Chains A and B, each alone.
Chain A
């Protein structure tokens, strides 16, 4: 019986250079481990897994893993993924994105892909900053926090990603953190199994930029913050509102059923396939 890490190693591309490109202590690698373990536990055939990402630190994930991997343009991963999935619905499509890539430039594609309810699993790594370009603020940087382009404190509110996804029509919405790594693996597993559009928000940390600019400390301190501020949704139900102030919920937040896009389109094909070409 192999160790967990050895199993993970089997999924890594041997032709890539390791250690990976992320800063020492970055949460993206932790999330990648959880994703690999979730895929492994589901016994998915690697040939059937397509991992699609945009641009940013999080989006550097797919190149490291031995699946069908597609590293696209900034913000557009969901649109590319929609084409991949619709053209070959047999593929299990997992999109990796970040708070900037997925919600700023990618915001439009985010809400429409949720609405369309196409069977894609989206893992959005939220570190509240634009890491790759050096620490600019993002749509999830909290009010008054510092970014290099908000040197006097960000004056914009931050998105509640899970509410946004739910309102836009996603049928499975969950939140985890890189600290709560066993929960993360479980919700990713559930998200992949879910037929329909699933969103997993992964609270992570960029100690290199966000942590330094906002004096929130090292990777370890920021993970301790995640530990201290996350409340599992089942536990939150039993707590009074004042105990929930400044906290965020983790776990499966929303899980409903709605017709999935590819299946619906297959019904269209089934109904009209026999008919001759029509020019009206």
Chain B
């Protein structure tokens, strides 16, 4: 008989490195920094950890981060012969690590586990991520497809579908980035901590029309970690622990951009993932019930479309909700990415999923480093990632909340 993960597993500690261009740190240094903080936050010692999962998105590619296995974590931490597994699901990798750890707990095989998300991107020698992952026809079919190249197609399509001139469209996107930078500036661990103006965003150097520099997230090094236990044990560790309410991984069939019906203005996979996660968490109206959505805003247009695809506004309704009703600010009706998001906090691929969960945990505990972006009366937080590119996504959604 299938059971839900809801309220079976608790997070008792989180850790997060400073997200930045970490010229000072190897991938193993990043892991240790995040894990040390998570263990201290949980009040447990490394020797008590029974199993671990580490998520990285690109560790086996040309990024110099050692062998593509969990040994990057065990050699960093010097755990002694315990189960440790690397998980990979593109940008969902960090969330997959938390999910795998939670299932480890829910299976009752372990009762104290570690989940880590990590990525070291800045040792490659070039900006950006380069041309992305090979499918079966790479490197010829889909050649030269960079992340901005692929997401920008969604922006062009959205402008066209909803009758926005390039100027109108770029202004909405600029306002999203201004919001991200506003919150990033108020988050000590964020990568990009400078506020920007709409004019700066609109006039920034072009990366991929219609996306300019400030429409794109930081390419960042970082790690995040979480300590998980059975909910029945959680109170032994702390009073303000947080429960997992839902996980969904709505892995798409991967061929939407070859599907003549797909118009690039919605994330079908994220829609399906949101429906599944809301159902598991028992959420009827996400706009009313969620206290915070930390979503995958690798680009400004990604935030816009993810809001619509997670039903935080109707299709085409983003402008009204965001710019007119100001719904998505920390004091708005449905706060979105008030950590600064991937955009401003930075996006070390495998780290982001775990980092978003850690952000929700801190918000729920009322322990946001800078109180000006603390959300009042926090009940439920949602962390959303999507790996891949428009038409070929694997989205992960985690919902956490009060026990």
| A and B part of one assembly | no
Interface residues of A (CB under 8 A from B): none
